[in-house]
Structure 1
Amino acid sequence: MSQEHVRMSQEGDHMSQEGDRTTDRLARALGWASLGLGAVQIAAPGAVGRLSGVGDSAPARGTVVLVGARELFHAALLLGGDRPAPWAWTRVAGDVLDLTMLGRVVAARTGTRRLRAVAATGVVAGIAAVDLWTALRVGRRGAGRPGGRGAGGPGGHVRSLRAAITVNRPRQEVYRYWHDIENLPRFMIHLESVKTTGDGHSHWKAKAPANWTVEWDAETVQDRPDEVIAWRSMPGSAVGNRGLVRFTDAPGGRGTEVRVELDYDVPGGRLGLALARLLGEHPEQQVRDDLRRFKQIVETGEVVRSEGSPEGTRALRQAMQRPAQPVR
């Protein structure tokens, strides 16, 4: 290795380490914020309830005290260790709960109390944005290191998924549809858009838990017509990932067997994965559902839907499913 390569590698390591320290400092600042908020909520639950529009009834005060205790728990996690950044995902989970509760308060209140609840919701949404940005930096800092995927960093947890489906269409037709990657959001519901940027590169935008979005750039690393397509995220991506899809003739002339292999970093490690599952965004189920939609759209030209889920099968809606009639 040349001296120039060594120097560039050392500079990259220094920048990565500095980014780690910045993320940890920000996470520690959030820990102090949790400590302050928790102390106030426990010491004066009535005042906090009135100010936020929740109210000062006994149940409302009890709820404020519980939220305060949770904030102290966040503070203990963020301030009690040498590497606090991965624990920022606990605050994101708390923000989701708070926004859900405040949304119900806004819907139930009128007049001044509703205005206070709306203002409190705006404040919590702003805090949630900072929390999520901090948590996502944990994934970015691993993804930017040599190796490019972000695997194995203190805030990341590598997840491998495997799934397969048989599509009753010729292999060339199935490959051709997937090869146009701008088609992917039509059956991958977590994707908002995929745009080709030239020379085998593309820009991806996906939905994250709690209605947030995450974006990254990717490159195609293998493309054998009618056989294999493989891709990986570029260094510095918010969520490191790589994937491969194989197309083979199904036995008995039943069309094409599509096999997907996907490795990706879970922001926030196991805690981030648990949060995603809590919010109904189970990764394994998403992949299987995506392949079923792919089969439908290639075989019939559209995703079959029903009155019970008119906009498609989002994982978050599964708990609210009901017996349905065909769409009129």
Structure 2
Amino acid sequence: MCPDWYAPCSDRARIRFKRKPLRRAIFQSRSEGGSNMEMRETDRPGDEGLARALGWFSIGLGVAELVAPRGIARMIGVRDHRILLRAVGLREMASGVGILTQRRPAGWLWARVVGDVMDLALVGAAFRSPRARRGRLALATAAVAGVTALDVVASRRLSRRPGEPEDDAIRITKSITINRSPEEIYRFWRDFRNLPRFMRHLESVQVTSDKRSHWMARGPAGKRVEWDAEIVDDKPNELIAWRSLEGSDVETPGSVRFQRAPGGRGTVVKVELLYRPPGGLLGSLVAKLFGADPDQQVAEDLRRLKQVMETGEIATSAGPSARRSRRLAAAS
């Protein structure tokens, strides 16, 4: 149930990451017929400043493309496409005005990201022209890629809701009901050597002590990722919480809870992860592009856990012989 690079954490233990959060929460207490806690976000001048800078940049670029499309074409090393460049200029100006006039401009920033992708495609197509100046085109491509990265960062930051991870971390929460007792599932999970049986991208887990283990998994593009993890909270038949140790390839604190389901229907298994992918935000986007979405992986791994616990095998689209081999592998 791990994303490809899964390793354990605790919701009790306070895990400190090296990266500082980009925004803070202020807790204010008040008493009106009792005390409660209220959380609100502070202003994030850095995020808003980046958005405004991108808005003005968009307007400036749009004006240049509208007024002097021929000069822009020469500068980036392509033929004079005045109509196309003016259309791009109008798009840039619309995005810039939207960013600067809207209180929450995340939608307009994402529109810029879409436009950036279109621009990269256009610049890439220009390389095929025999009249293209490839040196200037290469510089233009690098510039567009850099602006795209800034647009993605600003869009992600301003799209977050209160309580979401602050930087490039991904929060994952998944649960499933399994027709087995909490004691059985806890015992199976607590032996980490069982995890590769249902975690598709996990290659092996070597238990090095009562609380520590070494994990090996396949990351994006087949890259092997390794890390050491330690258990930070362990309540028999109720909770296992873990964190990856300092110096690991990935940071991924998490926990799994085993709660008896109502009506004697077995056990609700709930997994919570805070996962920071290799390569940061860009690595996460690339992983999703190639289908390695951690959120989806956790859901699929939980379904395989359910199959292993309830039937002793993992159903596949192959024939009975393949299912039998999976059953034998799980039992080994």
TM-score normalised to structure 2 length: 0.49
Could you say which structure has the larger radius of gyration?
A: 2
Counting helix residues as a fraction of each chain, which structure ranks higher?
1
TM-score normalised to structure 1 length: 0.49
Name the structure, 1 or 2, with higher relative contact order (CA <8 Å, separation 6+). 2
